[in-house]
Chains A and B, each alone.
Chain A
Amino acid sequence: MISEAARADIDRWVEKYPEEQKQSAVMAALRIVQDENGGSITTEMMDEVAAYLDMPPINVYEVATFYSMYEHKPVGKHKLCVCTNISCMLRNSKGVVDHLQEKLDIGFGEVTEDGMFSLKEVECLGACVNAPVMQVGEHYHEQLNPEKIDRLLDELRQES
C-alpha cells in the first residue's frame, strides 16, 4: 500500500499538471514510492501507482524501466553512483572506482553483505568541471580522491 505520506507527496505533483493529465505525475510517484521502499520498486508497487494515477499498468512499467534512476532489484542503503564518462575519466574516475571496489569488496551492480552500500556506474552527472564526481542519494560529491572517499564512507556508515 502507498503510505499516507507518499500519497500526499504524489498529490502535490498531480496538482502541477492540468486536471486531465494526472499521468504526468508518474515519474515523481515512482521516485516517491521507491524512496519509501529503501531504493527499489516492485511490480506490486508499480501496479499501485497505476491504480492511483488511473493509468494502465503497462504504461507505468514502461516508464519504470526506461529511466535509469529506478531500480528493480534491491540496492544498498547508500547507492554510490560513480560517473565514468569522459570528463571524469580524464580525471581518473578509474581510480575512484578501483578504490571503492577495493574498500567495499563489491563490483558494479552489487550490494555489500551488510546491505549498507551498492555501487553503480552512471553516465555524465552534469558536474564535469568538478570531476571526478559521484552521486549518493540527493547529494553530489565532487573532486573525489581516496581520502575524500574514505571520509565519506565513514560518514555514511555513522549516519546509519
Chain B
Amino acid sequence: MANQVCFRNNHLENSWTLAAYQSSGGYEAVKKILSEKTSPEELIDEIKLSALRGRGGAGFPTGLKWSFMPRNAPGQKYIVCNSDEGEPGTCKDRDILRYNPHQLIEGMLIAGYCIGASAGYNYIRGEFWEPYSRFEVALEEARAAGLLGDNILDSGFDFQLHSHLGAGAYVCGEETALLNSIEGKKGQPRFKPPFPAGFGLYGRPTTINNTESLASIPVILSKGGQWFLDQGLPNAGGEKLFSVSGHVNRPGNYEVPMGTPFSELLEMAGGVRDGHQLKAVIPGGSSTPVVPGDQMMGINMDYDSIASAGSMLGAGSVIVMDETTCMPRVLARLAYFYYEESCGQCTPCREGTGWLSRVTQRIEDGNGAQADIDLLDSVAGNIEGNTICALGDAAAMPVRSFLKHYRDEFQHHIDHKQCMVTSDW
C-alpha cells in the first residue's frame, strides 16, 4: 500500500480545500473527540500504540513527547509545528502544506487538545511563500467554519492557530532556535535543559513537532493506533514520506510503509537514471552518513535497518548518486553548507565548519596535501559531541562517512590533482 496517511487526499481535485478534505472524512476525528470529550490521556495512549516517531529527523516517539507536557499546569501552553524544512534533500512538508493543509490544521488542533494548549504556531520557512499562502487560505476556511477560534463547535475548547514566516536560516529548524525565531530574535539554539516542555515559547510549556508528524495524527485517530502500527514495524509505525532526489528517473515524494526495501523505493522512483549505475545513497538528508550503493540495496527504509548500515533514517530524504558522482566534490558542497549555516555560538562548530569547508574545497580543487585527510577526520572529531545543537554533529557526520567509504577518491585528488570520475553535471 501507499499514500494512506499524509498523501491520502492528493488525488482529489483541489485537494487543499476544506470541501475536498471534508469529503474524505476530514475534521471527523477532532469533531468526535470534542463531542465525546475523550480524555487526552486516552488519545495519547492511542498515539503511543501507533508507534508514530517524529518525522523531523530525530525519530522521537510522538506520544511520549506529548505525555511530557504539564497539561494541567495553569497558564498558556503552545503547540508549534516545524515547517522549516531546510535539510538538503528534504521536501515533503512543502507538499503537505500545498496539498493537504487541513490535515495539518486538524492534527495541530488535536495536539493542542491533548497537551492543554489553546494556541499554536506553524513556523514555515520564508522561501515557502506559495505553500504559506495555501496554508493561510486553509486557516481562513477553518476559522470561517468554526473549526478554529473560541469555543470550537460549542465544545468549550478554544484554539488559535497562526503561521510564522522564517527568513532564511537552516538552523531555525532546530527546535529551540525556532522558538527564539518566533520570539523575534536571532535563530540561535538554546542550551537544553530546560526543555521546551517546561520552558518553551515565551517561557511557556511547548511541544514542537514536525509537519508530517502532526499531519499524521488525524489518520491515526480515525483509523486507530493499531491500524497505523500495522502499516509499519513494531517500533516504527505507519507509512512515511520519502523524498527521493538525485540521479533517478522519477524523483519525487513517495509515501510508503516503514520498512519498505530501498530497492523497491528506488524502483518506484524509476530506478537509477538511464544508462547509469548506483554508486552511493545518502538515506536521510544531508546530515546522515552516506552508504555505498550495493550495501544500500540490501537495506530497508526503517530506523534499525539503516542504522545497521551505519547511517540514519533522518527525515527520509533519499539522495541517490550514480557512478558519475565525484565524492570530494559533493562533500565540499555539503561542508560549505554547514559552514554557511552555523549560527556561530559554539567555537567547535563555528571554527570547525570553516575548516571542513576550506579543506574539502582545496582537496576538490586539487590543492590538497597528504595531511589534509587526517586533518578532516580530526576536525570532525573535535566538533562531535561538543556543541549546543546537533548542527555540529550534522556537519561532522558526512565528513566521517565520506572518508570511510571513499577515501581512495580523496587520495586520488591529492595525488593526481584531479577527479577519478567524469561527470556531465
Q: Do A and B actually bind?
A: yes
Q: A-side interface residues toward B, CB under 8 Å?
A: 16-18, 21-28, 30-31, 53, 55, 59, 62-63, 66-70, 81, 84-87, 89-92, 94-95, 122-131, 135, 137-140
**Given A128-B89, A129-B91, A129-B244 in contact, is the A67-B166 Cβ separation under 8 Å?**
yes
Cβ of B165 within 8 Å of any chain A Cβ, yes or no, is yes
Q: Which residue of A lies closest to B128 (CB)?
A: A126
Interface residues on B, range: 35 or more
Indicate if the CB atoms of B184 and A90 lie closer than 8 Å. Answer: no
Which of B162, B168, B286, B343 is within 8 Å of A68, CB to CB?
B168
Cβ of B413 within 8 Å of any chain A Cβ, yes or no, is no
Which of B121, B165, B181, B424 is within 8 Å of A31, CB to CB?
B165
Which of B89, B94, B166, B185 is within 8 Å of A87, CB to CB?
B89
Indicate if the CB atoms of B183 and A124 lie closer than 8 Å. Answer: no
Which of A17, A25, A85, A128 is within 8 Å of B337, CB to CB?
A85
Chain A residues closer than 8 Å to B251, beta-carbon distance: 87, 91, 128-131
Kindly state the separation between the CA atoms of A22 and B170 in the bound complex, as whole angstroms.
24
Indicate if the CB atoms of B164 and A24 lie closer than 8 Å. Answer: yes
Which of A24, A91, A95, A140 is within 8 Å of B183, CB to CB?
A24
Which of A18, A26, A128 is within 8 Å of B90, CB to CB?
A128
Cβ of B88 within 8 Å of any chain A Cβ, yes or no, is yes
- Dominant SS at the A interface? mixed
Indicate if the CB atoms of B182 and A91 lie closer than 8 Å. Answer: no
Chain B residues closer than 8 Å to A17, beta-carbon distance: 162
Indicate if the CB atoms of B245 and A87 lie closer than 8 Å. Answer: yes
Kindly state the separation between the CA atoms of A22 and B183 in the bound complex, as whole angstroms.
9
Kindly state the separation between the CA atoms of A84 and B132 in the bound complex, as whole angstroms.
23
Question: Which 9 residue pairs of A and B lie closest in terms of their CB atoms, listed nearest first?
Answer: A68-B168, A23-B184, A67-B167, A87-B245, A69-B168, A92-B425, A124-B88, A138-B129, A128-B245
Kindly state the separation between the CA atoms of A101 and B241 in the bound complex, as whole angstroms.
36
Kindly state the separation between the CA atoms of A90 and B423 in the bound complex, as whole angstroms.
10
**B residues 395-424 in Cβ contact with A at 8 Å:** 424
**8 more A-B residue pairs beyond the given contacts A70-B168, A135-B127, with a C-beta to C-beta distance below 8 A:** A24-B164, A67-B126, A68-B168, A86-B330, A123-B341, A124-B88, A128-B317, A129-B251
Q: Which residue of A lies closest to B184 (CB)?
A: A23
Indicate if the CB atoms of B130 and A138 lie closer than 8 Å. Answer: yes
